[in-house]
């Protein structure tokens, strides 16, 4: 591999290359050599921008956590509009794209990465899934306050159920996403009780 050649926006090229390798070959194939080969650069380029490979992988996860923060803002703005089921279905469809599903597998696969992420963001649960659960819980809290779901709804359990079921549904598809109807079926089943009891 040639050295001494300036690579424009090397960080982004490396991060994009890692996602391509992850999607194509899975978490076990994601090595610094695979990433730099995919990016078409020398291995030293990665270590110039990141302290080590787990720091590089943590950057990928942080980027997607930041996207969840943006999605959470949009979801909370939808509270009180449309139907609760449709809003949640849309949120899960946007959240669990093939890259995010692959990244969750990567976090589970690599102990060092998981430890690095927990040092930076202490808390329980799998990073990305934990933030996604918090996003859903915030939205459901808003809907509860607006009277669109039962006042005594167990928000945290609902959020965990939606994220857990959503992740299982998307992870089972091997790189292809389920259609909105399949996601809506799960969502409506999980929230049926709190929707019905709001009318009592």
Tell the burial category of 119 from Cβ atoms under 10 Å away from its Cβ (0-12, 13-18, 19+): exposed
Pair (98, 184) in one structural domain: yes
Pair (43, 86) in one structural domain: no
Q: What is the pLDDT of residue 199?
A: 66
161: CB partners within 8 A, 6+ apart: 190
Whether pLDDT at 2 is above 50: no
Does a structural domain hold residue 184? yes
- Among 36-45, 72-81, 172-181, top mean pLDDT goes to 72-81
Which of 113, 111, 95, 121 is CA-nearest to residue 183?
Answer: 95
pTM score of the predicted model: 0.87
Counted domains in the chain: 2
The domain containing residue 20 runs over which residues? 1-49
CA torsion angle 137 78 101 50 (round to 10): -90
Does a structural domain hold residue 19? yes
Pair (36, 117) in one structural domain: no
Considering only CA atoms, give the Rg of the chain.
Answer: 19
Does a structural domain hold residue 55? no
Q: What is the pLDDT of residue 3?
A: 46
Q: What is the pLDDT of residue 111?
A: 86
Which of 112, 199, 197, 88 is CA-nearest to residue 153?
Answer: 197
CB-based contact 34:21 (threshold 8 Å) = yes
CATH code for the domain of 11:
1.10.10.60
Pair (45, 106) in one structural domain: no
Does a structural domain hold residue 171? yes
Pair (25, 68) in one structural domain: no
Q: What are 103-140's pLDDT values in tens digits?
A: 999 998 888 888 888 887 766 678 899 999 999 999 99
Q: What is the pLDDT of residue 122?
A: 65
Whether pLDDT at 64 is above 70: yes
Tell the burial category of 82 from Cβ atoms under 10 Å away from its Cβ (0-12, 13-18, 19+): exposed
CB-based contact 166:130 (threshold 8 Å) = no
Does a structural domain hold residue 164? yes
Helix 10-25 and helix 53-77, axial crossing angle in degrees, nearest 10 = 90
Q: Mean pLDDT over residues 15-29, rounded?
A: 92
Compute CA 187 distance to the chain's CA centroid, rounded to the nearest angstrom. Answer: 18
Pair (92, 161) in one structural domain: yes
Pair (68, 15) in one structural domain: no
CB-based contact 15:55 (threshold 8 Å) = no
Whether pLDDT at 58 is above 50: yes
Pair (91, 39) in one structural domain: no
Does a structural domain hold residue 57? no
């Amino acid at each position: 591999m040639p050295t001494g050649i300036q690579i424009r926006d090397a960080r982004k090229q490396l991060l994009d290359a890692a996602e391509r390798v992850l999607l194509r070959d899975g978490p076990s194939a994601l090595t610094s050599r695979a990433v730099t080969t995919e990016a078409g650069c020398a291995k030293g380029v990665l270590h110039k921008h990141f302290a080590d490979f787990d720091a590089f992988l943590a950057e990928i996860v942080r980027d997607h956590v930041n996207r969840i923060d943006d999605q959470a803002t949009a979801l909370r703005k939808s509270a009180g509009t449309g139907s609760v089921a449709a809003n949640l279905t849309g949120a899960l469809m946007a959240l669990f794209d093939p890259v995010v599903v692959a990244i969750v597998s990567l976090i589970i696969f690599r102990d060092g990465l998981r430890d690095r992420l927990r040092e930076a963001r202490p808390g329980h649960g799998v990073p990305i899934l934990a933030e996604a659960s918090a996003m859903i819980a915030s939205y459901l809290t808003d809907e509860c306050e607006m009277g669109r779901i039962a006042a005594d709804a167990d928000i945290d359990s609902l959020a965990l159920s939606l994220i857990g079921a959503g992740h299982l549904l998307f992870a089972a598809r091997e790189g292809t996403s389920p259609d909105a109807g399949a996601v809506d079926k799960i969502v409506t089943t999980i929230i049926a009780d709190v929707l019905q009891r709001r009318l009592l």
